[in-house]
Amino acid sequence: MGLLNLLRKLKKDDSEARILVLGLDNGGKTTILKKLSEEDISHIMPTQGFNVKSLQVDGFKLNMWDIGGQKTIRPYWRNYYEQTDALVRGAAACCAATDE
């Protein structure tokens, strides 16, 4: 079962979901969200704080919260957990051994 199908079952009375995207800096979180939004990915800067992208998928709105992965920002990740419907935790293959 895909993530979207699972969210639809969990949120059957709602047509949108909040998804938190976390991972280390330079792990590709922003790149993935920009690709999903069909945006240019040739000049991506490190996320300072957070970015929010809203995607429409089959009539379902996904509010994707891309949180910066720098070491100084990680202690604040927990502030974004409330009212989050799903968590996407990413790690670049090159950095998996150093993931904290």
Q: Annotated binding residues for GTP, as ranges? A: 23-30, 69
Q: By three-state DSSP, how is residue 18 classified?
A: strand
Residue 21's closest CA among 34, 11, 9? 34
- Strand extents, DSSP E, 1-100: 16-23, 50-57, 60-67, 86-90
Angle made by CA atoms 51, 57, 58, in degrees to the nearest 5: 160
Q: Is 56 assigned a catalytic role?
A: no
Report the binding-site residues: 23-30, 47, 69
Active site residues: 70
